[in-house]
Structure 1
Amino acid sequence: MFHRIIRTLELYDGLRLPVRVAGVELLLVHDDGRTWLIQRRCPHGDFPLERATVHRGVLRCPGHGLEFSLDSGRCPGQSYQLRRYHIDYEGPWLGVWVADGD
């Protein structure tokens, strides 16, 4: 099932939008004209990432300062990894597909 998150016309650089989809907390990040959908909380310290900074596709956690590539989810030099979700589009809507029962 397709879950609408936001209309594409509402995206702006600096957007950090926490959403809940099928019981899962996600964070939509839009910066430098690019959009990512990731887990909402840091895998290291469980800090909410909507206050994170983003520079050149790298997200910096506001808790302990760990940095994660938004393209790969990896944290260089650490074993932590952000879970990333595939963004899809349906008409003017940006969203995510979640299978029934997920």
Structure 2
Amino acid sequence: MSRSYVRACALNEVPEEGVLAVVIEGTQVAVVRSGGEVHALKDNCSHSDVPLSDGEVYEGVIECWLHGSCFDLRTGKPDGNPATESIPVYDAKVEGDEVFVSLATDSQGAPR
């Protein structure tokens, strides 16, 4: 199955060990750089319904600014309370100086 990628931003717009909020096809997405890799996640904490892009990025996680829930950048899984539900993770790739994200979903409607 071929994925359709959409330009999200320029790579230099995403801070090292940081996050940039973008909207792709009406979906709020957090584009994150950590450990030299680029990730894309739904920009919404599964616990408190606030933007994750306002939080901190470190050691492969993004931390929600409101209650401290941390989510794995690769899987979207929380590492403990208060969040108990994963957040959607999207495929991201860098081509040249641009970041592209695919919002493609599986047969159950889940990202990837």
User: Which TM-score band (shorter chain)?
Assistant: 0.7 to 0.9
Runs of 4+ in 1 over 6 A off after TM superposition: none
The answer to whether residue 12 in structure 2 is matched with residue 3 in structure 1 is: no
1:51 aligned to 2:30? no
Sequence identity of aligned pairs in percent?
27
**Is the Cα contact below 8 Å between 1:12 and 1:31 reproduced in 2?**
no
1:67/1:15 CA distance change after superposition, 3 Å? closer
Q: Distance between the aligned counterparts of 2:36 and 2:15, measured in 1? A: 8
Which residue in the other structure is 1:80 paired with? 85
TM-score (norm 2): 0.74
Cα separation, 2, equivalents of 1:48 and 1:38: 11
The equivalences for 1:15-26 within 5 A come to 15-26=18-29
Shift of 1:7: 2.5
> What TM-score do you get using the length of structure 1 for normalisation?
0.80
Aligned-partner SS, 2:85? coil
Of 35-44 and 83-92, deviating more is 83-92
Does the C-alpha gap of structure 1 residues 16 and 76 become closer, same or farther in structure 2, counting only changes over 3 Å?
closer
**Matches of 1:77 and 1:31 in 2, distance apart?**
20
User: Which among 77, 101, 110 is matched to residue 96 of structure 1?
Assistant: 101
How much has 1:72 moved relative to structure 2? 1.5
* Helix, strand or coil at the partner of 1:50: helix
Q: Quick one: distance in 1 between partners of 2:73 and 2:87?
A: 8
Secondary structure of the residue aligned to 1:81 is coil
Deviations 1:11-59 (A, max 9, x none): 4314321111111111111133222100111011011111211221022
